[in-house]
Amino acid sequence: MSATPESGSIGDVEKTAATRAHTMEKDVTDGSVSTSHSEYERYLELHHQFEGPARAKLIRKLDWRLLPTLSFLYLMCSLDKSNAGNAKLFGFLEDVGMTPTQFNQALMYLFFTYGLAEPVSNIALRRLGPKLWFPIIVCAWGLITTLTCLVSSYGSYVAIRLVLGLSEAGLYPGSYFILSMWYTPKELATRMAIFYGANTAAGAFGGVIAYGVGNLDGVGGWRAWKWLFLIEGVITIFAGLVCFVLLPQFPHQYAAAGEGKGKGSRWLEPDELEYAQLRVKYCNGPDAPTYVFRWRDVLAAARDRKTYLMMMLFWWGGSVPTYSLSYTLPTMVNNLGYSAVKAQALTTPPYIFATCVCVFVGWASDRYQKRFASIMGCYALGLAGIVILWVTVHHKDLYGVSYFAIFLAAAGYSAQAPIVGAWTSANVPNPSKRAAAIGLLMLFGSVGGGSIGSNIYLAREAPYYPLGFGFSVGATALGAAVPATAHWWLMRRENARRDRLDPAEVRGRYTGAELGEMGEDSPLFRFTL
C-alpha cells in the first residue's frame, strides 16, 4: 500500500506494478482475488488513458457536479443552524419571552441530538447512498426551519432545536464522506476546503440576508425574525428537492460499462465512470479495501485511537471557537458601537476573508501534503485573533484593531476544519470504517464543542467576555494543538518503523487480500502526515 499511483507519474505506476507482479500470482487463489487483480490491471490501463488533459477534464466534471451542490446545501445548513444569532438582534427573545440564559440553553440542546445523530446518519448514508438520504434530511430540516417562525415560547423553541439537530446532523459528515468516495486523498483537502467555505460564507450571507430582512420588520404584521426563518426554510426545502436531480450516487453504485445491473451515469462517459470508480479504490496500490458494508468496520473505527485524537482537534480546535464566534459575532460587532442592523452587515467582510483563507490553506495542504503543519498554522492564526481581540476590547479607541482581530479569528478557526477531515480520510482507506470514523469524531466534537461554544460568551460579561476569550485560548492551545502534535508524532514513528521493513518479505508473508483487509494497519501503508 505504500505506492500511490494516483499521485505519481505513469512510470512510477508501471514500476510499482512490475515489482509486485510476481508476488501477486499467489493471491489469485479464488474468484474474488482474481477479480481484484484484473481490476487493478484495468486501473493501470485507464491511468495511462487519462494521463494529462483527460484526467483534468474528469476532475473538472467531478468538481462542477459535486462541489456546488454540496456547498450550497452546507451554506443553507449553516444559515439555518446559526440564524438564531441574527434573530436575537431583531427582538426574538422579547417576543418569545426568553431570557438570554434560556436562549443559550436552547442553542446548546441542538448539539446533543445533532452529535448523537451524526454517526447514525453516516452509516445510513453508507447503506442508502446520497441520492436518497440527502434529499430526505435536507427537506426535513428546511421544514423545521420554516416552522420556527411559529415559535411562541421557550419550550416550543427547545423542541424545534432538538428536532433541527436530528435532521441537520447528516449533512456535514456525510458531505466529507461523499467527497472521500470520489476524490483521492491527495485531492481531498482542496475540495473539502471549498465545501467548508460555504460555512464561512454562511456568516457573510447570513449578515447580508439579515440586513435585508431587517427592512421587512412589520410587513404583514410579522417581526423581522419570523421572516428570517420563513425565507431561509423555504429556500432549504427547494434545495432538498433539487438534490434528487443534481446529487450523484457513490461511484460504486453506478453500473460500469458492460454490466447488466444498476444504472449508468449520464454525466460521465463510460470510461470516465470506470476510472472514477477505480482510481480511489486503488489509490494506495493493488491491495484495495473492501467496499462491502460490514458492522465490524464500524466497530473498528470506535476502537481506533486515531478517531479520538482527531475528535480532540475537531472538538477543541474547531467546534468550540467556531460555534462561539458564529453565535456571538453580531453581538460583538454591535458592542463596538454599531447599530444592530449595521452590525449585521459588518459581519460579512470577516467571513469573506475567512472563506478565501480556508480555500487557500486547503490548496496548500494538498499541494505540499503537510496536513499537520497546515492545521497548526490555522490554530496560530485563530489564536492570534482571539488574543488581540481579548486585549483590544478593553480599549474603545482600538475598535478598528478589534474588528481586524475578528478577521484573523474567523479565518484561522474556519480553515482548520477541512484539513481535519482530509487528514482523517487519508489515513482510513476502508470506506465503512472511514464513514464511521468521520461520524464518531464529529459526534463528540458537535456535542462537546457546540454545547460549550454556545455558552462561554455570556451576555452579562459583554463586551469583555473573560470566560469566552480565556476558554477559547485554552481550548486551542491545550485541547487541540497538543493532541494534534501527539497524533502526528505517533504516525511519524510508525511510518519510520515500517520503512525499515522489507516489502518483499511482507508480501511473502501476506496475500494481497490480507493486506487490503488490514487497511491502514498494513505494513505497506504509509500514514499521511
CATH architecture assignment, domain 53-253+290-498 = Up-down Bundle (1.20)
> Which of 359, 131, 431 lies closest to 267 in space, CA to CA?
131
Q: Is the pLDDT of residue 264 over 80?
A: no
pLDDT digits (tens, 9 = 90+) for 19-33: 343 344 344 334 444
pLDDT digits (tens, 9 = 90+) for 91-108: 889 999 999 889 878 887
Q: CB 95: neighbour CB atoms within 10 A?
A: 14
- Return the pLDDT at 398: 83
Which residue in this structure is represented by grid cell 435536507?
138
Can you tell me the distance from the alpha carbon of 31 to that of 10, in angstroms, rounded to the nearest whole number?
28
Contact in structure between 358 and 415 (CB atoms under 8 Å): yes
pLDDT digits (tens, 9 = 90+) for 403-443: 898 899 989 998 998 999 999 999 999 999 999 999 998 88
- Return the pLDDT at 335: 67
Average pLDDT of the chain is: 85
pLDDT digits (tens, 9 = 90+) for 370-394: 999 999 999 999 999 999 989 988 8
- Return the pLDDT at 78: 79
Identity of the highest mean pLDDT range in 191-205, 272-286, 332-346: 272-286
Mean pLDDT of all residues in 140-169 = 93
Q: pLDDT tier at 263 (50, 70, 90 boundaries)?
A: low
Which has the minimum average pLDDT: 118-122, 257-261, 265-269, 338-342?
257-261
Domain ranges of the chain: 53-253+290-498
- Return the pLDDT at 393: 84
Contact in structure between 247 and 171 (CB atoms under 8 Å): no
Q: Is the pLDDT of residue 3 over 60?
A: no
Which has the minimum average pLDDT: 29-38, 266-275, 295-304, 309-318?
29-38
> Which of 168, 171, 123, 133 lies closest to 248 in space, CA to CA?
133
